[in-house]
């Protein structure tokens, strides 16, 4: 969604600053697909939620390592973009000509939907309200999501008795297996309710945004469900045993094996959520067993899996990359190299840092 919301503002800023338009996709990729997606502790992104049932972790798994990874990604990406802007100005290159968005709305919708579980058609449902809310009101939902998420995962849920979840009629699971997802869902629900209550008079009909949100939720639900099913089908194939043995036999311990497997599948599927879901659905129990035998903290496995999923998923064939370029009228030749540097190289560097620090000091 950030591609469609942030990009118009980015265009105005780049035009005013005389920054080449071709660098905008790389800047959006840095902010939307790197540290905010996979590294910052507590992020409600779906990529951060997928490993929680497999490892029994929370959205705040390995917060120190996640913060360090976020700093590495941001610092490297900003350094690269500033370097590119400096070279462009030295060469006398300005913003460049404006380019219109593609006319084929159906094709753009298909690319965006498969890339980031978001349907661009939902954007048209919104409209400006008569009075502009204050900035503090706009920031409040973000603060609430992080605060409630933290309170639920660290204080509220651990204090409650969820022993009944071990019964077969309740799914024969534990709090560790579902607590992380419950924390994220509760945090998002609280933010939505508070936002709706404080802006009730600004909604001509509250049912309209609720209907639009419910409609937009269908796509990510079906997308993740299909990926889980596909992962289970892949794991059932006889030939998958060869792939499993090869991945688990990679030297360097469970962290390196998990990182390699997730990177490969994310690159093949062109999707961070898709690659990680398939990897954990097919290899999650094996990774969990190896980590337990090696004494590796599940929180560290969680953070490595999430960061690994957000690396090679940003290669040129990725639907999100194609969508960003199409929305801004750029070509692969103009922008793809910078996207790879900010979205792939920086994330890979952060992944190496996390694996090294995690192997030396454990999760923190």
93 phi/psi in degrees, rounded to 5: -90, 130
Hey, which of 100-109, 110-119, 250-259, 355-364 has the most confident mean pLDDT? 355-364
Mean pLDDT of 85-110: 70
Looking at the fold, whether 120 and 236 belong to one and the same domain comes out as: yes
| 216/192 Cα distance (integer angstroms) | 15
Residue 208 lies in a domain: no
Gyration radius of the chain's alpha carbons: 21
Looking at the fold, whether 98 and 235 belong to one and the same domain comes out as: yes
| 143/274 Cα distance (integer angstroms) | 28
Looking at the fold, whether 194 and 83 belong to one and the same domain comes out as: no
Looking at the fold, whether 252 and 122 belong to one and the same domain comes out as: yes
Residue 57 lies in a domain: yes
Residue 260 lies in a domain: yes
- pLDDT tens string 320-343: 677 677 666 677 778 888 888 998
- Given a cut of 80, whether residue 259 has pLDDT beyond it is yes
Structural domain range at position 94:
2-128+217-361
The mean of the pLDDT values for the chain is: 79
Query: Residue 103: its pLDDT value, please?
Result: 45
- Three-state DSSP class for residue 39: coil
pTM, entire model:
0.77
Residue corresponding to tokens 């560290």:
300
Cα–Cα distance list, 67 to 138, 167, 238 (Å): 24, 37, 40
Residue corresponding to tokens 């996390």:
354
Looking at the fold, whether 248 and 303 belong to one and the same domain comes out as: yes
Query: Residue 109: its pLDDT value, please?
Result: 55
| 88/94 Cα distance (integer angstroms) | 7
Query: Residue 106: its pLDDT value, please?
Result: 56
Residue that finishes a domain, picked among 151, 175, 202? 202
Query: Residue 209: its pLDDT value, please?
Result: 75
Residue 212 lies in a domain: no
**312, two tokens:** 């090679």
Looking at the fold, whether 32 and 76 belong to one and the same domain comes out as: yes
| 231/104 Cα distance (integer angstroms) | 32
| 87/93 Cα distance (integer angstroms) | 9
| 221/117 Cα distance (integer angstroms) | 9
- 249 or 263, greater pLDDT: 263
Residue 120 lies in a domain: yes
Percent of the chain with pLDDT over 90: 13
- Given a cut of 90, whether residue 138 has pLDDT beyond it is no
Looking at the fold, whether 351 and 244 belong to one and the same domain comes out as: yes
Cα–Cα nearest to 304, from 250, 356, 361, 228: 356
Query: Residue 201: its pLDDT value, please?
Result: 79
Residue 42 lies in a domain: yes
- How many domains, in total, are found in the chain? 2
Looking at the fold, whether 311 and 177 belong to one and the same domain comes out as: no
pLDDT band at 258 (very low <50, low <70, confident <90, very high): confident
Looking at the fold, whether 63 and 186 belong to one and the same domain comes out as: no
Mean pLDDT of 235-263: 78
Percent of the chain with pLDDT over 70: 80
Looking at the fold, whether 181 and 234 belong to one and the same domain comes out as: no
Residue 118 lies in a domain: yes
Looking at the fold, whether 283 and 357 belong to one and the same domain comes out as: yes
- 302 or 15, greater pLDDT: 302
Contacts (Cβ under 8 Å, ≥6 apart) of 9 = none
Query: Residue 327: its pLDDT value, please?
Result: 66
């Amino acid at each position: 969604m950030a591609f469609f919301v942030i990009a118009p503002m980015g265009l105005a800023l780049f035009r005013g600053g005389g920054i080449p338009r071709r660098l905008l996709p790389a800047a959006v990729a840095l902010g939307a697909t790197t540290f905010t997606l996979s590294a910052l502790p507590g992020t409600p992104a779906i990529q951060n939620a997928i490993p929680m049932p497999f490892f029994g972790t929370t959205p705040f798994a390995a917060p120190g390592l996640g913060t360090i990874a976020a700093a590495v990604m941001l610092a490297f990406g900003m350094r690269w973009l500033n370097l590119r802007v400096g070279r462009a100005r030295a060469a006398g290159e300005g913003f460049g000509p404006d380019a219109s968005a593609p006319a084929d709305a159906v094709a753009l919708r298909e690319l965006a939907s498969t890339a980031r579980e978001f349907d661009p058609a939902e954007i048209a449902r919104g409209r400006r309200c008569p009075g502009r809310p204050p900035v503090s009101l706009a920031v409040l939902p973000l603060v609430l999501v992080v605060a409630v998420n933290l309170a639920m995962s660290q204080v509220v849920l651990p204090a409650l008795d969820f022993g009944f979840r071990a019964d077969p009629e309740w799914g024969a699971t534990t709090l560790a297996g579902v607590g992380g997802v419950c924390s994220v869902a509760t945090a998002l629900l609280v933010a939505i309710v508070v936002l709706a209550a404080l802006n009730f008079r600004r909604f001509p009909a509250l049912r309209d945004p609720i209907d639009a949100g419910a409609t937009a939720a269908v796509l990510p639900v079906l997308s993740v469900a299909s990926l889980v099913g596909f992962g289970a089908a892949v794991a059932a194939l006889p030939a998958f045993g060869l792939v499993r043995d090869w991945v688990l036999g990679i030297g360097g311990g469970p962290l390196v094996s998990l990182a390699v497997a997730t990177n490969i599948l994310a690159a093949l599927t062109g999707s961070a959520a898709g690659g990680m879901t398939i990897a954990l659905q097919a290899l999650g129990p094996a990774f969990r067993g190896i980590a337990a035998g090696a004494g590796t903290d599940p929180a560290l496995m969680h953070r490595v899996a999430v960061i690994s999923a957000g690396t090679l998923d940003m290669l040129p064939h990725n639907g999100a990359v194609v969508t960003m370029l199409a929305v801004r009228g750029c070509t692969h030749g103009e922008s793809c190299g910078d996207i790879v540097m900010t979205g792939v190289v920086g994330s890979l560097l952060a992944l190496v840092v996390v694996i090294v620090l995690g192997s030396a000091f454990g999760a923190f």
